[in-house]
């Protein structure tokens, strides 16, 4: 029986989804004011948001005749007013009756033999802050934060579906599209019944309280309940496209995607998935820190980081950025700038060389997406030698346990650890060699395959190259001492956002 409780889930809100929920047409370019508000909403939630996900496998699933069973008078009255007819079939989950023609058709067509019950929420803090903004007469901020909360909930549901796909794949099964009360052909009046079932006594409690009102609405309102069916008849899912959840799922980084997103909300560069995008989809969570190592305030996405002092010009790169020709990075420069600002630590040695530390956070591709953290250490020669790569190594961050859940680590831990340690691409070459390095366009979060590890090394070296090339700009200068510390969920969505907004 699968059960999942996550109080620090990845929150990588797709920019296109956020724009859609804001009411903008596809590919709309945000105005300066709208962009400012969107950035503010991202930053506020990164610092204050408390997203959560709860999922558990239902003990039983039955589709039985007799739709009238379990329908209360109020629900029957609403259906009569809308002219809806009862179809004569009831879905029983752990003996509790539900009535949804669409959900029933999906379960029957796929030959589903089980269901997973899911609850997800953006956290009560967002709702409280939005109300405070409204009371202060700030309707713009209220609206952008409210809509961002909706985007978070939608993302959490899709992300949970991706994690369930990983679980099902391991067990020779397939997960079906989720369905929720309030969707077409499922009366929202059954929301309270589903909530009671999810949190019924004897089961592991949800991490935060959730209430269903008489109307069927949830409180906090930025929350969602969902039912995911699953089936052993995977051939039916492959044959019938309406049973494939991927078409309406906006969780673009998912490695289990079987067809492109057809909802029309994905960014063009990232929506025709199957092959991972060239821009990285890994998630990083960082805040800045003082030189003494004490955590400072979360980084402001719109506020440049101050330049370091006492750092001599670096002759390997032109100092006038206006005269600088475009550098052929494989990653968007907005993403490189943010990573250089917030995830990279550079220290200059007495010989003019550079010691760099890059902290990477991702998740395993299986085992329910366990978080993992790796440190990348790179030692470069002085600028007159072209910042030649003298030393490079990658290892799990101190205290990290997530890497032990990678599938290859579970099979051959010593072998995988040795492979990770032995990967030293471009060792002995100038740092600029990363610009012509041909490597796979692959961005899974794990380290099991060489192509995945090369992809991450490419991100690290391009970020270092960008930071050194722009050392004279406000965004990222070489510091005499620069310490990076991690905080869960901060800028979890910046990587994808920066490549598209």
- Give the model's pLDDT for residue 117: 96
Q: Measured between alpha carbons, how far is 307 from 423 in angstroms, rounded to an integer?
A: 33
Q: pLDDT tens digit string along 302-324?
A: 333 333 333 333 333 444 444 55
Pick left, alpha or beta for residue 396 (phi over 0 → left; psi -120 to 50 → alpha; otherwise beta).
beta
**Beta pairing partners, 8:** none
- The domains of the chain are located at 3-271, 287-498
Question: Quick one: angle between helices 413-422 and 450-469, nearest 10?
Answer: 30
**Could you read off the pLDDT of 470-489 as tens digits, one per residue?**
875 433 344 443 333 323 23
Q: Which CATH architecture is the domain 3-271 placed in?
A: 3-Layer(aba) Sandwich (3.40)
| Lowest mean pLDDT, pick from 119-123, 223-227, 335-339, 390-394 | 335-339
CA–CA separation, 152 vs 27, rounded Å? 20
As beta bridge partners, residue 53 has 6, 120
Paired sense of beta strands 52-57 and 211-212, if any: unpaired
What's the pLDDT at 93?
Answer: 95
pLDDT given at position 442: 53
Rounded to an integer, what distance in angstroms lies between the CA atom of residue 128 and that of residue 261?
33
Tell me how far CA of residue 428 lies from CA of 378, 381, 388, 433, in angstroms: 12, 10, 6, 10
Average pLDDT over residues 150-175: 88
Which residues are CB-neighbours of 163 under 8 A, at least 6 positions away? 4, 368, 369
Q: How far apart are CA 213 and CA 201, in angstroms?
A: 20
Average pLDDT over every residue of 239-254: 47
Mean pLDDT of 203-219: 90
Q: What's the CA gap between 293 and 288, in Å, rounded? A: 9
Specify burial of residue 498 (Cβ count, 10 A radius: 0-12, 13-18, 19+). Answer: buried
Name 293's bridge partners: none
The pLDDT assigned to 400 comes to 87
DSSP string, 40-102: HHHHHHHHH---EEEEEE-S-EEEEE-TTTT--HHHHHHHHHHTPPP-SEEEEETTEEE-BHH
In the block, which residue shows the tokens 């630590």? 345
Least confident of 160-164, 283-287, 313-317: 283-287
pLDDT band at 297 (very low <50, low <70, confident <90, very high): very low
Q: What CA–CA distance (Å, rounded) separates 478 from 254?
A: 35
Strand ranges, E, within 204-353: 211-212, 218-219, 223-231, 287-288, 344-348
The pTM assigned to this predicted structure is: 0.51
Mean pLDDT of 92-100: 93
Q: Please, which pLDDT band fits residue 61 given cuts at 50, 70 and 90?
A: very high
pLDDT-based confidence at 72, cuts 50/70/90?
low
167 or 483, which is more confident? 167
Given a contact cutoff of 8 angstroms between Cβ atoms, the answer to whether 99 and 70 are in contact is yes
C-alpha to C-alpha distance for 100 and 190, rounded to whole angstroms: 10
8 Å CB contact between 297 and 467: no
Q: Out of 67-76, 390-399, 441-450, which region has the weakest mean confidence (pLDDT)? A: 67-76
The pLDDT of residue 265 is 46
Least confident window among 191-200, 231-240, 433-442: 231-240
Furthest C-alpha separation in the chain = 82
The pLDDT tens digits of the residues spanning 371-429 come to 788 999 999 999 988 899 999 999 999 888 888 888 888 889 999 999 999 999 999 99
pLDDT tens digits for range 322-379: 455 678 888 888 888 888 888 899 999 999 899 999 998 777 766 556 778 899 999 9
Q: Helix, strand or coil for residue 501?
A: coil
Q: How much is the average pLDDT of 144-172? A: 89
Query: How much of the chain exceeds pLDDT 70, in percent?
Result: 69
Q: What is the pLDDT of residue 372?
A: 84
For the CA atoms of 106, 110, 114, 115, the dihedral, rounded to the nearest 10 degrees, stands at -30
* Number of other CB atoms surrounding residue 416 within 10 Å: 20
- Residue 359's SS3 state is strand
Mean pLDDT of 128-143: 95
């Amino acid at each position: 029986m699968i059960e999942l409780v996550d109080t620090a889930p990845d929150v990588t809100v797709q920019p296109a989804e956020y724009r859609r929920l804001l009411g903008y047409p596809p590919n709309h370019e945000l105005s300066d004011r709208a962009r400012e508000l969107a950035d503010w909403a991202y930053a506020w939630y990164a610092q204050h948001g408390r997203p959560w996900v709860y999922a558990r496998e239902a003990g039983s699933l039955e589709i039985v005749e007799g739709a009238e069973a379990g329908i209360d008078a109020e629900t029957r009255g609403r259906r009569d007013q809308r002219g809806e007819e009862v179809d004569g079939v009831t879905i029983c989950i752990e003996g509790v009756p539900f009535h949804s023609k669409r959900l029933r058709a999906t379960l029957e067509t796929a030959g589903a033999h089980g269901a997973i019950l899911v609850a997800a929420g953006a956290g009560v803090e967002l709702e409280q802050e939005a109300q405070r903004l409204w009371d202060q007469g700030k309707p713009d901020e209220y609206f952008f934060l409210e809509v961002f909360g909706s985007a978070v909930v939608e993302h959490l549901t899709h992300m949970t579906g991706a994690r369930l796909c990983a679980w099902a794949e391991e067990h020779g099964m397939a997960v079906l599209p989720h369905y929720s009360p309030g969707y077409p052909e499922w009366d929202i009046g059954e929301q309270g019944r589903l909530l009671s079932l999810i949190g019924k006594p004897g089961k592991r409690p949800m991490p935060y309280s959730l209430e269903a009102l008489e109307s069927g609405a949830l409180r906090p309102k930025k929350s969602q309940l969902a039912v995911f069916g699953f089936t052993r008849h995977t051939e039916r899912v492959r044959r019938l496209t309406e049973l494939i959840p991927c078409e309406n799922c906006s969780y673009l980084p998912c490695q289990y995607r079987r067809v492109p997103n057809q909802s029309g909300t994905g960014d063009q560069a990232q929506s025709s998935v199957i092959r991972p995008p060239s821009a990285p989809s890994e998630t990083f969570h960082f805040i800045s820190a003082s030189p003494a190592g004490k955590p400072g305030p979360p980084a402001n996405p719109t506020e440049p980081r101050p330049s370091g002092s006492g750092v001599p010009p670096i002759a390997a790169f032109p100092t006038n950025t206006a005269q600088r020709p475009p550098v052929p990075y494989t990653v968007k420069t907005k993403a490189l700038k943010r990573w250089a600002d917030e995830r990279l630590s550079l220290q200059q040695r007495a010989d003019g060389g550079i010691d760099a530390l890059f902290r990477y956070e991702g998740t395993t591709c299986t085992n329910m997406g366990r978080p993992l953290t790796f440190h990348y250490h790179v030692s470069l020669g002085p600028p007159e030698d072209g910042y030649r790569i003298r030393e490079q190594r990658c290892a799990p961050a101190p205290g990290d346990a997530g890497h032990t859940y990678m599938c290859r680590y579970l099979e051959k831990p010593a072998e995988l650890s040795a492979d990770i340690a032995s990967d030293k691409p471009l060792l002995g070459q100038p740092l600029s060699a990363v610009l012509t390095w041909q490597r796979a366009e692959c961005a899974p979060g794990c380290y099991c395959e060489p192509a995945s590890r090369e992809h991450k090394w490419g991100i690290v070296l391009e970020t270092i190259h960008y930071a050194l090339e722009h050392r004279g700009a406000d965004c990222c200068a070489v510091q005499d001492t620069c310490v990076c510390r991690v905080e869960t969920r901060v800028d979890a969505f910046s990587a994808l956002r920066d490549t598209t907004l």
